[in-house]
Amino acid sequence: MTEFLLLLLAHVLADFYWQPTSWVVDKKEKSFRSKYLYFHVGVVIITSYLFLGHWDNPAPAIIIGLIHGIIDILKIRFDKKGSAGWFVADQAAHVITIAVVASLLAGSLTISIDHLKVWLYSPKTLAQLSGALLCLSPVSFLVGILTRPWRDELSELVPDANDNLANAGRWIGMSERLLIFVFVIVSQFSAIGFLIAAKSLLRYNDKNASGEIPPAYISKKSEYVLVGTLMSYTCAIAVAMAVKLFYQ
């Protein structure tokens, strides 16, 4: 575990703090032809070597640095838009590499895999993973169906209103439900109160210079958001409480 944490810390520093933006831009433009790609790999190797402290064995740091460079090249090759999915995949690949190297160093790769299987197939883990996934897209569809009448009413009131960011409400809802699910699982119910208080700061501007959006729409939109939020919170709490029944 110590080796993993040391290598993870080295990765975070080398990838996010000790890599100038100019290097990142040049890497995106030139890929493997960028000299800064190799500078970055060198920083990863040196940082990993220094943090790990295995002075007579530089091989782990070199392996991590070389694989790091290959992962970066693949990300640059396939990620043309800088998407969040590729960012997560890129970082996951780096962390997996670090975990494998750390396990090999500790001589506990087989033990770690066995422990992972035991953890993954336990009723508690399966229940929590299933509950977390239920709180995301499935509940989004349910809340969307339940609030459809009010959404249609708002559309009829102001057909051309463009006061929402694309998919922002869906992502906000999923984030809130996931947080509430975690708070209930760890029995931090007071934290839910802080989340509700933060959500109460949401306000719709009741002033419209062009006069195109009537006050009635703003009032009904606020009620629609409140109803959707309460439904979302209720579902997340209910799922979390049901999950806790599986291992209590």
Which H helix or E strand runs over 44? Answer: helix 35-52
pLDDT band at 211 (very low <50, low <70, confident <90, very high): low
How is residue 166 annotated by DSSP? T
Percent above pLDDT 70 for the chain: 88
Q: In 199-215, which positions are buried (b, 16+ CB within 10 angstroms) versus exposed (e)?
A: eeeeeeeeeeeeeebee
End-to-end CA distance of the chain: give it in Å, rounded.
29
Q: Is residue 204 predicted with pLDDT exceeding 60? A: no
**Domain limits of the chain?**
2-120, 123-244
Q: What is the per-residue pLDDT for 208? A: 46
Whether the predicted pLDDT of 40 surpasses 80: yes
| Choice between 46 and 202, residue whose per-residue pLDDT is larger | 46
Cβ pair 60, 48 in contact under 8 A: yes
Q: Measuring CA to CA, which residue among 36, 85, 98, 44 is closest to residue 66? A: 44
CA atoms of 62 and 58, how far apart (whole Å): 6
Cα 168 versus chain centre, distance:
15
pLDDT, residue 164, reads: 62
